[in-house]
Each structure stands twice: as structure tokens, then as C-alpha cells.
Amino acid sequence: MSAPFIWGVATAAYQIEGGREQDGRTPSMWDAIRLIPGRIKDGSPIDLSCDGRNKYKEDVVLIASLGVSHYRFSIDWSRVMKNGKTRNPIGMEYYKDLCKELRKAGIECIVTLFHADLPLDLYNEGSWLNEEIIDHFVEFCRFCYEELKDYVSLWITFNEIRMHSWVGIVKVEGEPFHSLDMDHTKFLGDVSITRAIMIASRNMLLAHAKVYRLFHEMDDSIRVGLIVGAHSCFDEEGEKITEVSERATKAMVHFYLDPLMSKLNDWTEGVREYLGDDLPPWSEEEKKLMKNTIDVLCLNYYRPHLVKEGAGSSLLEQIFKFTMVDDKWPKIGGDFSWLRFHPKGIISLMDSFEAKEGEEDNYPNNVPILISENGCNDDGRHNSIDDHNRIQYLGGHIDAVLEARARGVNVIGYTAWSLMDNLEWDDGFAVRFGLFSVNLSSENKERTPKRSVEWYKKKIEDEKKRMEI
């Protein structure tokens, strides 16, 4: 019998925890970003947080009230390793307590080892541009594994590997700025920014593979995945998949997966044509290390894009010679949101891993897929508790996922983003993705369920019954 479908909810450490110096935590890159005047759009001060670190017992009760089977959270590297390099058992104790509490409530843990934030010392030493970080990451992951292995059913090395390599290290034209202003030439010499991004991508992929091998050496029944932030693309002409839309999807999604899970075991076919010498080659030994190192393919899906031929203004569009066009899909998160409602995109994304008629299969047959994030921000025009837009968004996507599953796509679970309103990176607390609202001005940071809480619980119950028939 196949394992029950995973129904989950997700958060990330820096976005909810707070407690910057609690547990002997050392500063991180996001602490430094938040201290720069004007960098956080809503001006929220650095010590404002949901206090997830101290309210975890209460939060586990909220998680359980949703009726989910799994909770996806991340581990704060700066809390469990001082300066990113030295074990800090006091920081780890908190995650153990959280796992124990989840177990008591019958909830399984999915752990993301790296979700956007990095110990500041490691950032200042070059972040993912400096290959020495790989060993520090492996040691951090080893510590997490040793301490938490009894509780975790799925380990995820990186959240949104493309996003981090493009936006989390250096400043890149046309991408959000989620880092400090690093001069990459200090670490790599006089190379282009594209080359710097590719080196970071390469180091992250190698780090993933090393952690995969280490964890499997310790326990071969373990499951390790990687998350790509997956914005599928359609051609502007009638939402078709054409050469240009496929190229854009490949650049954003498949590029990071092909070395690890495709038959090719190399960078995606055809990308060298666009990247030239900026694309670092792999040695045969590295390819062997990376080969087949994804047990569960994890997709964060929020929206698709419409594209057309010809270089747009961002660096990504310049390199891969496509332009994202204004799309016509509903702005479900309000006028200023980047979200669009088009659930068909999640199906097309999953289908992009299937062989097309007449083509040889490039991906392992029926690879297990987990939707590791999908969610919608409050529409500021309405009272945030009445989140009908979120219900419409989640409902549309869950139905699409289940439709694909019924058709034979091996999608093993769905994880909603996010448990509670939290720090939406440089948007601060102004953009709210939570199923629970958080009163940030109250001393107790009280949580209140939005309408979607009751709805998600009922949806899970109904779908579970349907799956049993």
C-alpha cells in the first residue's frame, strides 16, 4: 500500500522565530540586512517578530488544529552553530523540543536545512561564492542529523536554490535584492556577475550532493530532497508550451535539477549556448557525486509567467533571451501583489518532468513530487480574517494537484504556505501569507485563525475520505 498523502503547512526559521540572541545565537545575514535603514519596506524594527521561538508549544496546538499530518520548518544555522562553524547545543535543544512537541501531537517533521538566511561570518567570507562554505554546511547538516534524526521523515537541503543563488548573495539587475552589497570580485577576481551566480549555483549543488551522500551513508532508508522555486512558463500566445516558454522554465527550474536527477547528469541541454564560458564545467567525479541525489522533488509553486521571444530587461531574461509579459491572470493577492491565479500552471510544471511523446525519458520514471509551498497573501482591501481570496487560491491549487495525481503523476503531498503571518523578507510584516493572523503589536503576539483555517481543515478531511474510497 502506498504511503498516505502528505497534508502539510510550512514556515521558515528567520521568518517566524525572533529571539535573535536567545540561545547564544550569533548574527546572521538577515540581521545585518534588517539593520540597514530603509531596507525593510514597512520599516519594521529588527526586534519585531512572531516570537515563534518561545511560543512553539502554542504553535504546535495551532498546527494540530489544522488536521495536517506534516509540519515543514527550517533550522536556523546561526542558532545551532556559533558563527556558522561551532556547535551550539543550547540552540539545538530548542529544535529538539519542537520535534518532541510535534511528535506528541502526532505530526511528522519535514526539515529544511537552509532557508534564505546565512550566518553573517560565512556571508562575509564570500557566502556560496567561496567553496569552503560547502564543508561548513556539511558539518551543520551532520549536527542536525545526529540530533534530530529520530524525528524527521524528510530532509530538504535548500529552499529555492535558484532564488538564493540569484538574489541572496549579490545584487542582480531585475531580481529582488535579498543580500548585503557584496563585491563578488573580492572573492572571485575580475569575473562577470553571471559567472559569480553560476559558481554559487555550482557550490550549492555540490553541497546538496555531499549532504545527500552523508545522510544516506548514515541511514539508507532516509529521504532527502531539494526545493526549486518553480514558476512554470507559457508562451504568451494562448498559454502554449513553445520553444521560448520551455527555455524559460528550464532556466529557472530544470537547470538546478538536471545535474542531480536527470539521465543527462549534467547542466541542462542547450544552456551552454546561452551562458558560454560563464558556466563552470563538472568533473567526472563531481558528476558521480551528484548523480541520482534526489529522493523527493520538492516544488514551491506560486504562479506561472507568460513569456515571448527576445531579451527583456532583467539579467535572467537577457541571458536566456526571453521577456516576461504582463499577464492577464487574476491578481488574487490584490493590486500590488506579484501573485497571479492560474492553477493550471502547477499541472504544467509537474508535467514538465514527464517525457514528451516520441522523446526518451530524461527524468526517473514517476519521481515522487512534494508541493513544498503554495499560498497567497492577504488582499489588503479586505479584513484579513475574511481571507476568501486565500481559500480560492488554495482550493484551486489543491484541486489541480489532485487532478494530476488522479491522472498518475506521483505527487505525494501538498504543503500550504504559511502557518502564520511572518516576516516577508524585505516587505517586512506588511505582506501577510498566514493562515493564522499574528497581532504584532500585542505583547503576547497572539494568533487568530483566519477563515482559511477551518476551510483547510475541512478540505483535508473531505479529501482524505475521498482517497479512502
What are the residues binding ligand BGC (CB under 6 A)? 12, 15, 159-160, 229, 300, 373, 417, 424, 433
Distances (CA, A) of 277 to 184, 201, 265, 322: 17, 15, 19, 20
Q: Which residue number, 184 or 450, has a Cβ lying nearer to ligand BGC? A: 450
Q: Which residue number, 84 or 434, has a Cβ lying nearer to ligand BGC? A: 434
CB of 87 to ligand BGC, least distance (A): 26
Question: Which among 17, 101, 160, 246 is annotated as catalytic?
Answer: 160
CB of 111 to ligand BGC, least distance (A): 14
Question: Which among 17, 246, 373, 424 is annotated as catalytic?
Answer: 373
Catalytic site residue 373? yes
Q: Which residue number, 167 or 400, has a Cβ lying nearer to ligand BGC? A: 167
CB of 261 to ligand BGC, least distance (A): 21
Q: Which residue number, 114 or 143, has a Cβ lying nearer to ligand BGC? A: 114
Q: Which residue number, 84 or 168, has a Cβ lying nearer to ligand BGC? A: 168
Catalytic site residue 284? no
SS (H, E, C) the chain: CCCCCEEEEECCHHHHCCCCCHHHCCCEHHHHHHCCCCCCCCCCCCCCCCCCCCCHHHHHHHHHHCCCCEEEEECCHHHHEECCCEECHHHHHHHHHHHHHHHHCCCEEEEEEECCCCEHHHHHCCHHHCCHHHHHHHHHHHHHHHHHCCCEEEEEEECCHHHHHHHCCCCCCCCCCCCCCCCCHHHHCCCCHHHHHHHHHHHHHHHHHHHHHHHHHHCCCCCEEEEEECCCEEECCCCECCHHHHHHHHHHCHHHCHHHHCCCCCCCCCHHHHHHHHCCCCCHHHHHHHCCCCCEEEEECCCCEEEEECCCCCHHHHHHCEEEECCCCCCCCCCCCCCCCCCHHHHHHHHCCCCCCCCCCCCCCCCCEEEEECCCCCCCCCCCCCCHHHHHHHHHHHHHHHHHHHCCCCEEEEEEECCECCCCHHHCCCCCCCCEEECCCCCCCCEEECHHHHHHHHHHHHHHHHHHC
Q: Which residue number, 7 or 417, has a Cβ lying nearer to ligand BGC? A: 417
Q: Which residue number, 147 or 160, has a Cβ lying nearer to ligand BGC? A: 160
By annotation, the residues acting in catalysis are 160, 373
